[in-house]
A and B are shown apart, each in its own frame.
Chain A
Amino acid sequence: MVLKLRLLIKFFSLIVLLFIVSIFTLLTSKLFDGLLFIEKKSIMDYVPNTEGDKEKMLHEMGISSFEPLLEGIPKTLRNFSLKLPQGLSEPQVLKSLKYLSEKNTNTNQCISFLGAGAYEHYIPSLIDHLTFRSEFYTCYTPYQPEVSQGTLQAIYEFQSLMCELTSMDVANASMYDGSTAFAEAALLSIRLKEKNKIICSRATHPEYRHVLRTYLKGMGTEILEIDTPDGITDMNQLEGAIDDNTAAVLIQSPNFFGCIEDMEAISQIAHRHDTLFIACVNPISLGILKPPGEYDADIAVGEAQVLGNYLNYGGPYLGFFTVKKEFLRKMPGRIAGETVDHHGTRCFVLTLQAREQHIRREKATSNICTNQALLALRACIYLCTLGKKGLAELSRLNVQKSHYTYERLCTLDIFEPAFKQPFFNEFTIKSKSTLSIRKVNEHLIKKGIIGGLELSEYYPDLANSMLLCVTETKTKESIDQLIAELTSL
Chain B
Amino acid sequence: MHQIEPLIFEKSSPGRRCFTLPACDVPEKPITHLLPEKMIRKHAVKLPEVSEIDVVRHFTRLSQKNFCIDTNFYPLGSCTMKYNPKINEDTARLDGFTKLHPYQPVDQCQGILELLFDLEQLLVTISGMYAFTLQPAAGAHGELTGMLIIRAYLEKHGEKRRKIIIPDSAHGTNPASAALCGYEVESIQSNRDGLIDLKRLKSAVTKDTAALMITNPNTLGLFERDILDICKIVHDAGGLVYCDGANMNALLGIARPGDMGIDILHLNMHKTFSTPHGGGGPGAGPIGVTEKLKPFLPVPRIEMAEQSLKEGMNNTKHDKSATKTYVLNYQHPDSIGSVRAFYGHIGIMVRAYTYLLSLGKEGVCKVGEFSILNANYLRHKLIKYYDIPYGKTCMHEFVISAKKQREKGASALDIAKRLLDYGFHAPTIYFPLIVEEALMVEPTESESMETLNAFADAMIQIATDIEQRPEAIRNTPQTTPIGRPDEVKAAREPKLKWEKQ
Contact = CB atoms under 8 A, between A and B. Distances in A.
A347 B485 contact: yes
Given A66-B373, A160-B9, A72 B225 contact: yes
Please classify the interface of chain B as helix (H, G, I), strand (E, B), loop, or mixed, using the class held by over half of its residues: loop
15 contacts: A57-B449, A69-B376, A100-B96, A126-B52, A133-B59, A134-B69, A140-B279, A144-B425, A160-B498, A303-B341, A312-B347, A316-B348, A367-B180, A369-B172, A370-B270
Interface residues of B, number: 200
Contacts of B144: 215, 367
A144 B416 contact: yes
A208 B341 CA distance: 6
Contact of A83 (B22, B125, B228): B125
A389 B497 CA distance: 21
A60 B380 contact: yes
B394 to A, nearest CB: 8
Interface string A361-399: 111101111111111010001011111111111101101
Nearest to A351: B490
A404 B484 contact: no
Interface stretch (B310-318, B355-363, B399-407, B464-472): B355-363
Nearest to A316: B282
A315 B340 contact: yes
Interface string B343-374: 11111101001101111111111110110111
B105 interface: yes
Nearest to B419: A144
Interface in A285-301: 286-291, 294
Contacts, number: 678
B173 A357 contact: yes
Contacts of B447: 48
B432 to A, nearest CB: 11
Nearest to A68: B393
A401 interface: yes
A104 B45 contact: no
B498 A157 contact: yes
Contact of A44 (B100, B259, B358): B358
A136 B55 contact: no
B102 A313 contact: yes
Contact of B342 (A313, A368, A383): A313
A229 interface: no
Given A144-B426, A335-B496, A347 B279 contact: no
Given A96-B357, A136-B63, 9 more contacts: A74-B227, A136-B279, A311-B100, A367-B144, A369-B140, A370-B282, A385-B55, A393-B21, A450-B101
Nearest to A209: B338
B89 interface: yes
B496 A381 contact: no
B482 A104 contact: no
A43 interface: yes
B104 A103 contact: no
A339 B487 contact: yes
Interface string A301-326: 00100000011111111000000000
B352 to A, nearest CB: 12
A87 B360 contact: yes
A100 B486 contact: no
A356 B281 CA distance: 16
Interface string A140-173: 1110111111110110110111011100001101
Contacts of A87: 357-363
Nearest to A342: B483
A170 B29 CA distance: 36
A3 interface: no
Interface in A254-296: 260, 264, 286-291, 294
A213 interface: yes
Q: Place the interface of chain A in its size category.
A: 35 or more
A85 B380 contact: no
A484 interface: no
A37 interface: no
Identify the interface centre among A99, A103, A354: most chain B CB within 10 Å of its CB.
Answer: A103
Contact of A392 (B39, B45, B361): B45
B19 A385 contact: yes
Contacts of A337: 490-491, 494-496
Contact of A339 (B354, B380, B477, B489): B489
B341 A112 contact: no
B319 interface: no
Contacts of B214: none
B137 A316 contact: yes
B275 to A, nearest CB: 10
B158 interface: no
A173 B280 contact: yes
Nearest to B368: A70
Contacts of B295: none
Nearest to A340: B486
A157 B491 contact: no
B256 A54 contact: no
B384 interface: no
Interface string A406-435: 000000000000000010000000000000
Interface stretch (A4-12, A216-224, A243-251): A216-224
Interface stretch (B71-79, B197-205, B234-242, B286-294): B71-79
Contacts of B111: 99-104
Contacts of A313: 97, 100-102, 109, 112, 342-343, 346
Contacts of A19: none
B68 A384 contact: no
Identify the interface centre among B61, B114, B346, B497: most chain A CB within 10 Å of its CB.
Answer: B497
A133 B278 contact: no
Contacts of B56: 126, 129-130
Given A76-B228, A78-B254, A363-B179, A479 B97 contact: no
Interface in A57-116: 57-58, 60-61, 66, 68-74, 76-78, 80, 82-88, 90, 93-94, 96-108, 112, 114, 116
A104 B7 CA distance: 41
B346 A314 contact: yes
B382 interface: no
A310 B422 CA distance: 38
Contacts of A179: 338, 340-341
Nearest to A83: B125
Contact of A345 (B68, B298, B483): B483
A370 B66 CA distance: 18
B215 interface: no
Contacts of B18: 124, 126, 384-387, 390
Nearest to B498: A160
Interface string B23-38: 0111111010011101
B281 A315 contact: no
A74 B225 contact: yes
B339 interface: yes
Contacts of A94: 87, 90-91
B283 interface: yes
B175 A46 contact: no
A330 interface: no
Contact of B481 (A61, A97, A126, A146): A146
Given A153-B5, A159-B496, A177-B137, A388 B181 contact: no
Contacts of B455: none
A370 B103 contact: no
A176 B283 CA distance: 10
A13 to B, nearest CB: 49
A39 interface: no
Given A145-B485, A146-B417, A369 B173 contact: yes
B280 A84 contact: no
A140 to B, nearest CB: 5
A290 B39 CA distance: 6
B143 A46 contact: no
Contact of B276 (A43, A46, A137): A137
A207 B138 contact: no
Given A96-B357, A104-B100, A372-B281, A316 B126 contact: no
